[in-house]
Structure 1
Amino acid sequence: MTKVILAVVAAATLAASACGGGGNSPAATGEPRPGGAATFLVNKEPRTLDPATLSNLGPQDGALGNALYGQLVGTDPADHSIVPKLAQSLESKDGIEWTLTLRAGLTFSDGSPFDAGAVQFAWDRMKDPAVGALDGGYARTVAATEVTSPATLSIRLSEPTRQFGQTLATTAMNWIASPAAVEKGAAAFDANPIGAGPFTLDSWSRGGDIVLAKNPSYYDAPRPYLDRLTIRAMADQNQRLSTLQSGGADLILSLSAGDRPTAEAAGFVVTPVDQSGGLAFVLNNAAAPFDDIRARRAVNAALDLDALNDVRNRGNGTVPTSLFTETSPYHDPALGLPGHDPGLAQRLFDELAAEGKPVRFSILAYPTTENQRGAQAVQSQLSTFANVQVDVETGDYAAIGAKLAAGDYEFGITGINSFEPEPIFSRRLQSGSTANFAEVADPELDEALRLGRMATDEGQRTEAYRKLQERFIELLPMILYTRNETAVIAAPTVGGVALSGIDAPLVDTLWVTG
């Protein structure tokens, strides 16, 4: 039997990781202190507090979702394995039939039972296209569920995977709300969201602060340590950093490696992620001009990613030279990504133009400072080549997400980053996946992903991901331009900083010295 969750959490490992950082000044150390309040600046405000429509990523809604709803499972900061949270265990014999067992005696913040029926309700609801769940594609990989006891949910997947725990840890499937509260309607739920997380909603002023109060019925007492947590959206990264420096916040979400040296020099503590893949320019392989592999190769060869890094991250980011980071067990130094080759780029642009297919496209860019800088730098670099024309289109997160999901774009920005390849690599690259924004469809790539999901032997997984890398390099469905830059920058008075899943900040571990 595959037993994904162990009965004991590596609490000591989490505590050690949470108190560490990359800065010149140490984070708060010693035993966590209960009480106090903290203000956390993030980059965006949610449209709603409905967990089905949130995204379990740091640059999206990770901190907020973890605060209100807790986690069925988490990931160990040391080795990224699955650890129990609200769920006590998650087990499978074959990768297709799973059993989720909840901890005994769980309740929602209003005192109602948190049971297997609530999990079933949440996942079924996420499958409904009318709900608009960003992670609905993940939920639809669950073919059927059955409540076999108040604490036990039997699960059958549509196709086998040994990595279902990672799917829960990295998606909104991890966040469960009270079915009774959800059924009261969107407005009522936003006014009083009921979850089983470490915090409850005190107040939410649209365009202002989300103020959260400690949930006294949280299962993992004495957590949360804070009495109050304020989450404030601030789209501009520079403004977030300057607010932290001025004492207007205790910690911030950072999406640009360029800010880290400044923060460290000022005595703040940086806790970054270290993941394979990265942030990527995603090319629509199913529509002109990028349905022609030559156009994808031309743009890839034309871009000087080191120069882009200088502009976007002030030279402090890491430009990927391979799909898997050097610390990954799946890294193969012989499988490097194709790099900057302006001569090849111009030859391909000219060849396409001679055939009546000049390369013209628009970049979908998010409204954040770092994304705007990146899009404008790409446009500037490509303007030096003949037979290529580039525009920049800016939209909000929801509008751009809808365009990517619908394939209504040419050149966008996405992430294919994670410690563990599953589920994000399959969701981004598997044919038919609703999150395969590149619209890539390749049987060899699909088979490599399937073998990687199902292999129990590390040698088999290594071989599967070697083939994956070969096909990625050959097909170039997207262009990796930087390793994931998500980090939490905190004042040295803050302890317990840690991230879970892909890059979602934990909040129940946070504490302050005074």
Structure 2
Amino acid sequence: MPIRRFVKTLAASTMCLIVVTSCSGGAASPTAADAGDPVRGGEIVYSYNTDAQSVDPATCAVGIGLAPCQAIYGALLYLDVANNEFEPGMAESVTSADGKVWTLKLRPGMTFTDGTPFDAAAVEYNWNRILDPANLSPGAATASRLKWAVIDPLTVEITSAEVNYRLELAFTEELAFIASPTALQQMGRDFGNSPVGAGPFTFTSWARGTEMVLDRNPNYWDQPRPYVDRVVMKTIGADDQRFNALQAGEVDVMTVTLGKYADRARDAGMSVTQADLLGGGGVRLAQRGALADPDVRRAVSTLIDNDQMIAAVFPGEKTAATFAAEGTELYDPEATWPKRDVAQAQKTIDDYRARNGGEPIRLRYVTVAGSPLLAQVSEMLQAQIEEVDGIEFEIAALDGAAFASALNAGDWDLIVSGLGGANGERLYRVFHTNGTANNSGYSNPVVDAALDTTHSSNDPDEVNAAYKTAIRELMNTGAYKFWQPATTRLLSPSNVGGLEVAYQYWFRPDLAWVNQ
């Protein structure tokens, strides 16, 4: 079996030279499943509550869209969520001596499924396409801060506008997915209906809102992977319905965040693979309109009652008391939210309205349609926030594509949100004034200075201290409020093996197998 070597992230490494490298693949890290050794054949049916918004490599690096793109294209690098370590993928190595100039080396001999070469020119073509404003790529902000040059068919040199020791995360997400330039040119706007990559699976069909079918790529570089012949992604909005489908054998892997389903799965003899992520299930607050006033934003944030939300919508689940889970490197027992004070919030809202013509404050809350739990969350938020006179809370429940569009456009005052992973670099992306995923408009000099340190420093203690400074300020200023710790759980029957939590709600399908 191939061997995979793990390389620590920079925040946990004291090496001056940053290297992510490998030999020819590797074994999956241990999971809760006890399915024996990997075997070839069969299919895995996976289910989550939201459909992907895109399979175009320029636009899919948001939410659940990461899942099919990782399967179709592979990723230049992977982040092992359980260990917070970067691993090689389609790129054999990524190195930098100074955090500013990086060298990306591709694996030799890779081809796209249309027979064309997966080479440095293909990487250049895809990254140039990300920069094209016509493609509305969420990766454009990252790409615009980089310059790249093809050195030889397997080498790309990347120069960052500033020192950034955290750049690797971009090669796992927004710059990770490389499609066939030939297919992109030939198919144009139709490419998203029939994408061509070099990843472990090929695109077969997509009934939007229902299911996507991906079949094994027999020419994938890391043979004998992928082990299964087919992956089917089913969209089932309600957790109960997904769990019933899992018990009935209609689904092989389901993602859930609630611990009660993990308990039920264990009681039924199933396996549970889980990982603690950064942040949790909650909302981000924009810095626009009335919420641009820091006192108003903080007041609205404090109106959200975590204990009440858990008791009403998620009974029996753990309430988030701190930003990072105990036992993780960013855990800080002093990082807590301000206490709920309805009277003070009412005074703040009254004062703001008196200064601004007396009109009510209208807040647009954007959430994902089709999930009964998220609908309950919306109603509870509305009740909690409208407990103060002078606020009108509008709920906008959108499908996956519309939600992604609204998120990227910043067309919201509050939005259902997690941070999307385990790596601290997510904080820079989402909350730094110049963060590539900062679609809330949040800007805070204390947060910026701390997060700048995480890029410029290669000292793990200094980096972690800076992250904690930023986290405390974020919580105190009401930028992000969550009530449920971010724990992703993969539930499966005991004959499914090789499961690892990937991104936020996905797994590595190339590592998974099923004993039939």
TM-score scaled to structure 2, two decimals? 0.89
On the 8 A contact 1:237/1:255 being kept in 2, the answer is no
Which residue in 1 is equivalent to 2:155? 152
Following superposition, the deviation at residue 492 of structure 1 comes to 1.7
Aligned residue among 382, 385, 408 for 1:379: 382
Matches within 5 A, 1:124-135: 124-135=128-139
Identical pairs, percent: 29
Which residue in 1 is equivalent to 2:12? none
Matched to 1:283, the amino acid is: L
User: Unpaired runs of 5+ in structure 2?
Assistant: 1-15
Matched to 1:302, the amino acid is: L
Aligned residue among 382, 390, 413 for 1:410: 413
Which residue in 2 is equivalent to 1:285? 287
Following superposition, the deviation at residue 501 of structure 1 comes to 3.9
Q: Deviations over 1:303-337 (max 9, x none)?
A: 21122123332332x43323333223233322322
Which residue in 2 is equivalent to 1:298? 299
Which stretch has the larger CA shift, 440-449 or 468-477?
468-477
Matched to 1:37, the amino acid is: E
Matches within 5 A, 1:197-236: 197-236=199-238
**C-alpha distance in 1 between matches for 2:60 and 2:364:** 27
Query: Are 1:112 and 2:116 matched, yes or no?
Result: yes
Which residue in 2 is equivalent to 1:370? 373
Which residue in 2 is equivalent to 1:15? 29
Which residue in 2 is equivalent to 1:139? 143
Matched to 1:337, the amino acid is: W
Q: Deviations over 1:245-271 (max 9, x none)?
A: 222111122244453333333333222
Matches within 5 A, 1:292-441: 292-316=293-317, 318-355=318-355, 356=358, 358-367=360-369, 368-422=371-425, 424-441=426-443
**C-alpha distance in 2 between matches for 1:37 and 1:280:** 34
Aligned residue among 30, 38, 43 for 1:37: 43
**C-alpha distance in 1 between matches for 2:218 and 2:125:** 25
SS at match of 1:5: strand
Matched to 2:382, the amino acid is: Q
**C-alpha distance in 1 between matches for 2:347 and 2:25:** 55
Matched to 1:291, the amino acid is: A
Following superposition, the deviation at residue 440 of structure 1 comes to 1.4
On the 8 A contact 1:28/1:512 being kept in 2, the answer is no
Q: Deviations over 1:172-220 (max 9, x none)?
A: 3211111111112246534542211111123334454322221111111
Which residue in 2 is equivalent to 1:270? 272
Matched to 2:238, the amino acid is: D
Which stretch has the larger CA shift, 370-379 or 250-259?
250-259
Following superposition, the deviation at residue 240 of structure 1 comes to 1.8
Aligned residue among 80, 83, 87 for 1:83: 87
Which residue in 1 is equivalent to 2:69? 65
SS at match of 1:465: helix
Q: Deviations over 1:140-193 (max 9, x none)?
A: 332x11110110000112222111112222x13211111111112246534542
Matched to 1:332, the amino acid is: D
Q: Deviations over 1:328-374 (max 9, x none)?
A: 32333223222333343344344445553654323222113332221
**C-alpha distance in 1 between matches for 2:329 and 2:83:** 12
Matched to 2:93, the amino acid is: S
SS at match of 2:411: coil
**C-alpha distance in 2 between matches for 1:361 and 1:78:** 37
Following superposition, the deviation at residue 132 of structure 1 comes to 2.2
**C-alpha distance in 2 between matches for 1:352 and 1:192:** 52
On the 8 A contact 1:258/1:312 being kept in 2, the answer is no
**C-alpha distance in 2 between matches for 1:365 and 1:445:** 26
On the 8 A contact 1:301/1:344 being kept in 2, the answer is no
On the 8 A contact 1:106/1:115 being kept in 2, the answer is yes
The structure-2 alpha-carbon separation of the partners of 1:302 and 1:49, relative to structure 1 and needing over 3 Å to count, comes to closer
* Number of residue pairs matched by the alignment: 498
Matched to 1:445, the amino acid is: V
User: Unpaired runs of 5+ in structure 1?
Assistant: 21-26
On the 8 A contact 2:51/2:400 being kept in 1, the answer is no
**C-alpha distance in 2 between matches for 1:470 and 1:207:** 39
**C-alpha distance in 2 between matches for 1:500 and 1:417:** 10
On the 8 A contact 1:352/1:359 being kept in 2, the answer is no
Q: Deviations over 1:276-322 (max 9, x none)?
A: 2223312221322x122222222222221122123332332x43323
The structure-2 alpha-carbon separation of the partners of 1:382 and 1:444, relative to structure 1 and needing over 3 Å to count, comes to closer
Matched to 2:203, the amino acid is: L
Q: Deviations over 1:33-91 (max 9, x none)?
A: 1111221123333354322221254xx12331121111211123542211112111101
SS at match of 1:338: coil
The structure-2 alpha-carbon separation of the partners of 1:212 and 1:295, relative to structure 1 and needing over 3 Å to count, comes to same
**C-alpha distance in 2 between matches for 1:505 and 1:407:** 28
**C-alpha distance in 2 between matches for 1:465 and 1:172:** 22
On the 8 A contact 1:250/1:494 being kept in 2, the answer is yes
Which residue in 2 is equivalent to 1:23? none
Matched to 1:129, the amino acid is: P
The structure-2 alpha-carbon separation of the partners of 1:291 and 1:270, relative to structure 1 and needing over 3 Å to count, comes to same
Following superposition, the deviation at residue 494 of structure 1 comes to 0.8
